[in-house]
Amino acid sequence: MNTQTIDHLTLSRLVEAGAVRAAHVIGQAGGWALSIKYGVAERFLAAQRSGKLRLFRKLETVMLYLKGIGISSFEVDASGYDAEVAKTHHKRPDRAEALRQAHQAAEHDAWFRGQVQLGLDEADKPDAVFIPHEQVMAEWATKRAELLQRAEGAST
């Protein structure tokens, strides 16, 4: 199998230019590879992050991908496809947790930025009252002393 690859952006540009002569979906042990013929060259679609051969788990996913970029006719070679390997080969439960954490982080970031903006808006008001640093520190020193006294009283 030819190991030269192209990325999604290149494939999209080739489709836009009308340079794609044929698309072949080829069954592999673990999924479906996509081969594109343009000019005299034939290249396989590469995964975005790794640059390695992109494998689609389902034939329907490849079909939707191709239709989405403007290729509605393609050939399928299922001779090398192994359904059992495809079922177990691509499981990544760690991704669900990573995505959940990413969404939580984005929500927290949005909340935090909102709180900062509220504080800035409040400080920009003409009737805003500012308390001197020394006064705040003195009040906290008093509060801290009271808490320490209570804690010492509770431990005896």
Instruction: Strands of the chain (E only): list them.
Output: 5-6, 20-28, 31-38, 41-45, 75-77
Q: What is the pLDDT of residue 147?
A: 96
Q: Quick one: what percent of the chain has pLDDT higher than 90?
A: 70
Q: What is the pLDDT of residue 49?
A: 82
CB neighbours of 35 closer than 8 A, spacing ≥ 6?
2, 23, 24, 25, 26, 42, 43, 44, 45
The structure tokens listed for 37 are 């013929």
- What are the residue ranges spanned by the domains of the chain? 5-90, 94-150
Contact of 35 with 3, CB cutoff 8 Å: no
* Region 68-76 average pLDDT: 94
Q: When comparing pLDDT for 25 and 155, which is higher? A: 25
Contact of 96 with 42, CB cutoff 8 Å: no
The 10s digit of each residue's pLDDT in 111-155 is: 999 999 999 999 999 999 999 999 999 999 999 999 999 999 887
What pTM, to 2 d.p., does this model score?
A: 0.53
**Is the model's pLDDT at 2 over the cut of 60?**
no
**Is the model's pLDDT at 34 over the cut of 60?**
yes
* Region 70-94 average pLDDT: 77
Q: What is the pLDDT of residue 1?
A: 47
Nearest residue to 88 (alpha-carbon basis) of 57, 60, 63, 61: 57
